[in-house]
Amino acid sequence: MQQKIIRTILIDDEEPARIILREYLSAFPDIEITAECSNGFDAVKTIGELDPDLIFLDIQMPKLNGFEVLELIEQQPAVIFATAYDQYALRAFEVHAADYLLKPFSAERLAEALDRVRERIKKHDKLPLQPIIAAARINAIPLERVLIKEGSKVHVIPVDRIDYIEAQDDYISIKTEGKSCLKQQRMAEMEKALDQTKFVRVHRSYILNIERIARIELYAKDSRMAILKDGTKLLISRSGYDKLKTML
């Protein structure tokens, strides 16, 4: 029976690492390297275009790290993480049975990871990437940037440029410099990820960057209104005001 060809993309910002991996993989006739990417932006674009069966993914890369790449792609390829992460950070992979290679790794260790990937592909067993991404977000708190994909474009928004965030059903609307960007994420998850000394949930519908506040006015008996420096008005609940008072 002919072996299934596993279309593979190598993603690593260090060329020597890709050269070594390419050399090791040449010993496996069922692995076909269809592309190589040296940064996360190229990786997101290439994965979208080629829809590979497998990606080898470095974690620590400039522009976009490996977890951010996974957050932005719509496809679900098998993933082998190739990383120099410390042992503590690797626990998230082990808990979710993710395949990873701790740099520097041997050809034998690579062969073990490929065996597990072949089994996953054969059984159509998808790796649960969302819990791994969520664990990575927790380790990266406070959040420094927000990623939003619109078609083939990726917007990177530094959190210090965010004016406020508004809940919109299953999405959040991020308001920054007069623009709005929609992202599919829960409000509570975003609230936990942001710097608690700079952002506050002033209402069930709003998370506010306190540096954008011009003044606070009484709105009704138990509520107030935040007037932002650009004139935007946001309702503040009683509990939101209690939190805000401790920060101003």
Using pLDDT thresholds of 50, 70 and 90, give the confidence band for residue 142: confident
Using pLDDT thresholds of 50, 70 and 90, give the confidence band for residue 185: confident
Average pLDDT over residues 86-101: 64
6-137 with 143-245: one CATH topology? no
Q: Does position 116 have pLDDT exceeding 60, yes or no?
A: yes
Average pLDDT, rounded, for the chain: 87
Using pLDDT thresholds of 50, 70 and 90, give the confidence band for residue 88: very low
Average pLDDT over residues 21-43: 95
Using pLDDT thresholds of 50, 70 and 90, give the confidence band for residue 37: very high
Q: Does position 95 have pLDDT exceeding 60, yes or no?
A: no
Q: Does position 75 have pLDDT exceeding 70, yes or no?
A: yes
Query: What angle is formed at CA 86 by the lines to CA 64 and CA 106, rounded to 5 degrees?
Result: 90
Q: Please, what CATH class does the domain formed by 6-137 belong to? A: alpha beta
pLDDT of residue 2: 64
For the chain, the domains span 6-137, 143-245
pLDDT of residue 122: 84
pLDDT of residue 94: 63
The architecture in CATH of the region 143-245 reads Beta Barrel (2.40)
Q: Does position 97 have pLDDT exceeding 60, yes or no?
A: no
